[in-house]
Structure 1
């Protein structure tokens, strides 16, 4: 027997306070909603969580172990989205499934989604933008174009042959092409959805400005509260707000992924952020946020930096050893000089970031020296490589009483801040989620 609509989110244990906040807001407006949390993590310690948790083992993906190693948490949690949809629609016999990012709060029922399905839609999506962004803020139209037309903090599918076929195709792509790699035309699961208007004959693009309001479209949808208490987005009723980029415990940051809005100029939306973060805190964020990601370390306990997941032969067996000696040895693909070692790890980091490539061209000795100095002061921690990465860059082991890292020359001290300030704006790898 076919069931009704399933709502769900995907997250790791450190985001379960967000998932709980989403669930309570959804049920306040959709009292009969069936809600699930697909846990992109280990389930240990989640027994007391009040919502229904579905473990990764339920998805039946043979490649799941390999994906857990090859992908970062963001990549992994998004790469399994079509598999979660298929599990609900095909495995649990729901007629419709609605995905919501965990950092969403619901303010009104999903009437337009039900109407779209009643009219024959197989899929419902919300665009990032309904109008162009014409100021000089970040994100710009170009940033949106790079990350994908539709924001996949929300998507909804029915159980039709068209939907199931599309979801199967999408899942196949995300097994090994769900990387956050903008220069390759990829942005996790989201960029693939640009094909939806071409591949889905019954796609419904939901242009109601009350759906999926967030920092990227707030300029066109100012939030306000009517006299009767109803929250509005422009002239439309606010259905759900996507709190992408908020910082728990710090409501003064409207969103860390943009520079267009502050707590002072975002209007009534700032009140939403303050109230939302209070609910996340009350739902146990201090507890859940302290639980480390189960797939963030090798079995020997050493951290897995993002670049270490990118080895072509990486698979589930990658967890067994860190290969630190291989990663932190001098790279055969970079020119080396006394005191300026460029390790394989450093080169992988350099190649993964356009801002570093622009600021520190490795084709020149000066560029290599600048990059090496930046890595000694910032890069080894920023990259997640830790002390082992620093040891490799220094060409020695750090020992008690050993000499400290070499000081940065004066010319580099002046170069680094200005070079990085002008380049970091292009490093928007965590945007739009």
Structure 2
């Protein structure tokens, strides 16, 4: 079978790899001049099954109001007249219940745990290297109030069998020795030892090269104008220069741009771009830098060691498809890393970046078949695209191939939204 994948980020490339491994002829269409150059380019670097949870949760509406009033706020909402934003927000608020949170968390952990295992298998199969480490994640609490609420997180982790450890300051320093230099700025932490780190961009580029060795054809620098099709199937992809590329099956993996592509066919994907930012700093002193990932709970910022660099990622900004780099967002990232690892990296040489994370209102990506017989989606991973990429790609390849996936998948497809407000 010939399969065309629309999008060459980490999700599209992992889909290509597993489809090629399953024996299919695969073509990837990507508007950039290489793989992994948009949302996959400079994310926080975490592969975090233990941190997989929907943003929509009980108590979040109240917390969100407080975040919006902070100087270094983790959430920013720009005034907009865009109806899709408010429809998406309404759906997200509808998921802020105990029942919805448990359902959505279950889906996300199931896929994320599977994805980490699949990534480990891929690493063993290919020998791919991408500055990865298997040293866990440390969620750091600066206040006693944050530590007092750690039970809210651990109850969920217990329910899904995710290993963890609640640490006092000495335990945090044992996990991340450089924190000894700023002892007194935190009161404890929650460590998730099963999490990993790695450079998603480097992984995507190197996996794309492996895909090419398997016969996958990449059309870089090729923008997609639209899809051509009938009521029940897609008949071709129309590129910006007017060419029409055809295949037996199609996979839409264009992140935040996927909904507009499918809307003419009556497929409404509730995916909205949530803008994230990052800084990438060269390491100045390895002993003063993080060992793995530290999540600064106060600012919702992740600080990750990637080889000889430190990646600092965070902020959720609702600003449509704007790619503008805003100085206040940089200040928040810089404040967090300078507080916790002041001698670790060189802020003066930091590279500032922003990307659009495709977020669903229930936090779960949309992976699987659509009402069109030969069209599949693999999008909507939000902040967890790197965490869930390999598992999503493997599941997608199984579904296209007519095989039963290793995990339950019916509740991952777009059909879960049909008939819901």
Shorter-chain TM range is under 0.3
Richer in strand (by share): 2
Q: What's the TM-score once normalised by structure 1's chain length?
A: 0.23
Q: TM-score, normalised by structure 2?
A: 0.24
Please identify the structure whose Cα radius of gyration is greater: 1
